[in-house]
Amino acid sequence: MIWKIRGAELDLAAKIAVLGIVNVTPDSFSDGGKFFAMPAAREHADRLIAEGADVLDIGGESTRPGAQAVSVEEEIRRVVPLIEAVRRQSAIPISVDTRRAAVARAAIEAGANIINDVSALSDPPMAELAAATGAGVVLMHMQGTPETMQQAPRYSDVLAEVTDFLTARAAFAQSAGIARESIVIDPGIGFGKNLEHNLTLLGRLDRLTETGFPVLVGPSRKAFIGALTGAGAAARLPGTLAAVSLSVALGARLVRVHDVAAAVQAIQVATAIKQAGG
Ligand code: HH2
C-alpha cells in the first residue's frame, strides 16, 4: 500500500505513518497557541522530526468546535514561513492542514507534499490543484462546519453515512485527475460527531479500511477522551494512545497526533502484537 505524494512516496504497508501536528494558530484547542511565534513553531517541528514523525502536518486555521474562520492571507502568513523553514533543513513530507485552495497552493510552492483537507475538497480549485501538482490528499468527513458542527450532530447510520461520503469524495477526486494511490480517507473524529458517533467510527474502523483506501485517524487529545474519562485536553495522552493502538489493530495506516514519541512507541508495540497474532 503506497501513498503517492508530491515528489515522494510513503510505504504504508511497511510502516504506520505518524503525522505530527504543528498548529501555527493562536487558538488551537489543545496546545493553545503555544507554537504561534515562528521560533517556537520551528523548534516544535524539529522536535517532532527527532521524535520520529513521518509527516509534519502544519495548519494555520483552528478547526476546533466553535472556532472562527481566519482570512486566506492570514492563514498563508502563518503556514508558509514555517514550511519554507522546515524545507530548508529537512526532506520530511509536509502536509498542509487547510480547506482553502489558495493556501494549499502557497504551501505546495513552499515545499508541502500533501493537502490535508478537513472539508474533503469542498473549495472548487482544490481537486485540480492536487491533480496538477501530484500532492497527496487526505479526505476527511465532517458534518456541518467547525462553527456549528458540535451543536446537534445527527445520523441515521453514522458508519454507512461516513463511509458513503468518503467513497463518493474519493470517486470525485479521481474524476478530477487525482491518482487513486494519492488518496487517504479519514472519518473525522470530533467533526460533527457525538461520543457515540466517535466510538462507533473507531470501533468499526474495519468498515472504512474495506474501501481499500488507506485510513487515517486523528483522535489526539480530543473531547471524546475527556467525555469518557474527565481528563482535560493536556491530560489525554493515555486515552490518545489507547485510541491509536486500537485503531492500528483495526487497520488504520496513518495517525495524526500531537505526542509523536509516545505514539511511535505505542504503534511499535501494537504492530508487533498484531503481527504475532497473524
Ligand atoms: N483534526 C483536527 C485538525 N485537522 N485533520 C485530519 N485529517 N483529521 C483530524 O482528525 C483532524 C485534522 C483538529 O485537531 P487540532 O489540529 O489539534 O486542533 P485545531 O483544529 O484546534 O488546530
Whether the Cβ atoms of residue 162 and residue 156 lie closer than 8 Å to each other: no
Is residue 29 lining ligand 1, measured as CB closer than 6 Å?
yes
| pTM metric for this prediction | 0.96
The angle at the Cα of 122, spanning 16 to 181, to the nearest 5 degrees, equals 35
* Contact assessment for residue 92 and residue 49, using Cβ atoms and an 8 Å cutoff: yes
Please report the pLDDT score of residue 237 as a whole number: 98
The residue from 169, 207, 221, 256 that is catalytic is: 256
Question: What is the reported pLDDT for 30?
Answer: 67
Q: What is the pLDDT of residue 66?
A: 81
The residue among 256, 13, 250 whose CA lies nearest residue 114 is 256
Going by their DSSP bridges, the two strands 2-5 and 8-11 should be labelled as antiparallel
Cα 65 to middle of ligand 1, angstroms: 10
Residue nearest to atom 20 of ligand 1 (CA): 63
Across all residues in the chain, what is the average pLDDT?
Answer: 95
278 grid coordinates = 497473524
Distance CA 185, CA 214 (A): 6
Cα distance between residue 188 and residue 154, in whole Å: 15
Burial, 47: exposed, middle or buried (Cβ in 10 Å; 0-12, 13-18, 19+)?
A: middle
Residue 37 confidence (pLDDT): 65
pLDDT tens per residue, range 92-137: 999 999 999 999 999 999 999 999 999 999 999 999 999 999 999 9
Tell me the Cα Rg of the chain. 17
Query: Considering only 31-35, 97-101, 169-173, which range has the smallest mean pLDDT?
Result: 31-35
Q: Are 113 and 88 in contact (CB under 8 A)?
A: no
Q: What is the 3-state secondary structure (H, E, C) of 120-151?
A: CCCCCHHHHHHHHHCCEEEEECCCCCCCCCCC
Residue 62's identity, in one-letter code, is S
Roughly what angle, to the nearest 10 degrees, separates helices 237-249 and 195-203?
40
pLDDT at 209 over 90: yes
Q: Is residue 27 pLDDT above 80, yes or no? A: no
Per-residue confidence (pLDDT) for residue 29, from 0 to 100: 62
Decide whether any atom of ligand 1 lies within 6 Å of the 21 Cβ.
yes
What is the pLDDT, as a whole number, of residue 68? 78
69, 61 contact by CB (below 8 A): yes
Per-residue model confidence (pLDDT) at position 234: 96
Q: Considering only CA atoms, which of 138, 137, 224 is closest in space to residue 186?
A: 138
Distance set, CA 126 to CA 76, 118, 252 (Å): 15, 12, 25
Residue 215 DSSP code: B
87 lines ligand 1 (CB under 6 A): no
Ligand 1 geometric centre to CA of 276 (Å): 32
Active site residue 34: no
Q: Is 191 exposed, middle or buried (0-12, 13-18, 19+ CB in 10 A)?
A: buried
| Most confidently predicted of 37-41, 75-79, 145-149 | 75-79
64 lines ligand 1 (CB under 6 A): yes
